[in-house]
Amino acid sequence: MPILVKDFTWEETESAVFIDVPLKGVASNKVDIFSSGQYLKVSYPPYMFEIYLKENINESASKATIAGGLVKFKFEKSEHELWNSLQAAEVEDKKFMAAARQKAVEDSHKKAELLAEQKAKEKREQERFALREQMKKDEEEKRKIEEAKENIRKNAAESLERWKETESERYKTENGLANHEENHSTNHSGAIFSHDDDVHADDEDDEHLNLPKGVKLHDGKKLSVKDDSPKKFSKKVKKKKDVPPPRSTGTIQVTFSHRPFKTPSRESKAPEEEEWLAKIAAAGRTTKTDNSDAVDMEEMNPLWLKDKGSSFYKSGNFVAAINAFTAAIVLDGNIPSYPFISNFRNFCINIIIITSP
């Protein structure tokens, strides 16, 4: 049971109440203060101070300090008047105090919940505010980017228009020069040839010159030709470039040298390949090498066929295993692993006989 502290002091004014509670040598970090409404409790084991104030107080304006071995309380009164007594008259009733404690705890929980809700609401408001500010920043950044893109598009369009105008002016200039040259050529031709139907010249001279019909040479030695063509010359037609004929086709004959290996030929590997072929030739002199089913140099090697048969056996392809083991025995009946090959070939044959319908 805690020891109740009775030797406290208090005083009041019309607006406040002051209470001093002795700590009796207990460290300040062990003091626990609980206040809710009119209920006040100070716990610092093995001591405890508990009172129920006579009137209501303003908790938000009240405060408690620990100094000089005392817990000093200053409570602001809700109504400015003298109490003349610190505690309510019902403090001696245990049931009343138990109910007061329970009510104080419940009120404290409600206040804590309200405070938590308020803090959560404030936090949500702050988050919404931060989100709105971020959205504003994003919109502003997006607007700046769109403006920059629009400026780039405008500049590109203006550059294109300027280029078009420049090209148009250049084309007009070149076309004007061409027309001027054509007109000059036409006028020059007109000075030489005149369009008259009648031409006076001597018949003998006409026959001597062998001129076309309707063209006669007069005394001024100038030709007058009847011409129904337009006076202005049309634009010169560009001559088509002569396209060379298609090239003649040919056939290149390619022959490949025989190579017993699948890999490409390399000078660095030539000694090893020659050594391998020499070993195969030496082995072929003592073993049978005319395997008609072989399509590769490896299939002429009994050891390779033995390993291949083992892999077929492990995968369950017993027919292929029998063929590989048989080919190895046919090539070299004196192979050191002949018992192994023979036993496994017989085992595969038995499996096929047993499993066949």
Q: pLDDT tens, 203-233?
A: 444 444 454 454 444 444 444 444 454 444 4
The total of other beta-carbon atoms located within 10 Å of residue 222's CB is: 11
Using DSSP bridges, classify how beta strands 32-36 and 16-22 pair: parallel, antiparallel or unpaired.
Answer: unpaired
106 vs 153, higher pLDDT: 153
The dihedrals phi and psi of 82, each to the nearest 5 degrees, come to: -80, 140
> Looking at beta carbons, which pairs linking 129-138 to residues 24 or more positions away fall under 8 Å?
none
pLDDT of res. 135: 92
Q: How confident is the model at residue 133 (pLDDT cuts 50, 70, 90)?
A: very high
**pLDDT, average across residues 300-317:** 83
Label residues 287-301 b or e (16+ Cβ within 10 Å = b). beeeeeeeeeeebbb
CB 19 within 8 A of CB 73: yes
Pairing of strands 70-77, 16-22: antiparallel
User: Looking at residues 55-69, what average pLDDT do you find?
Assistant: 82
- Strands 47-52 and 70-77 come out as unpaired
- CA proximity to 305, closest of 263, 249, 345, 270: 345
**In the predicted model, is pLDDT for residue 44 greater than 90?**
no
To the question of domain 3-92 being in CATH 3.90.870.10, the answer is no
pLDDT higher than 90, residue 148: yes
Indicate if the pLDDT at residue 285 is higher than 70: no
pLDDT digits (tens, 9 = 90+) for 7-34: 888 888 888 888 888 888 888 888 888 8
**Confidence bin at 192 (pLDDT 50/70/90):** very low
At 357 the pLDDT is: 62
- When pLDDT is averaged across residues 97-101 and rounded to a whole number, the result is 80
Rounded CA separation 323/289 (Å): 16
Provide the H-helix boundaries in 193-238: 203-209
CATH 2.60.40.790, the chain: domain bounds: 3-92
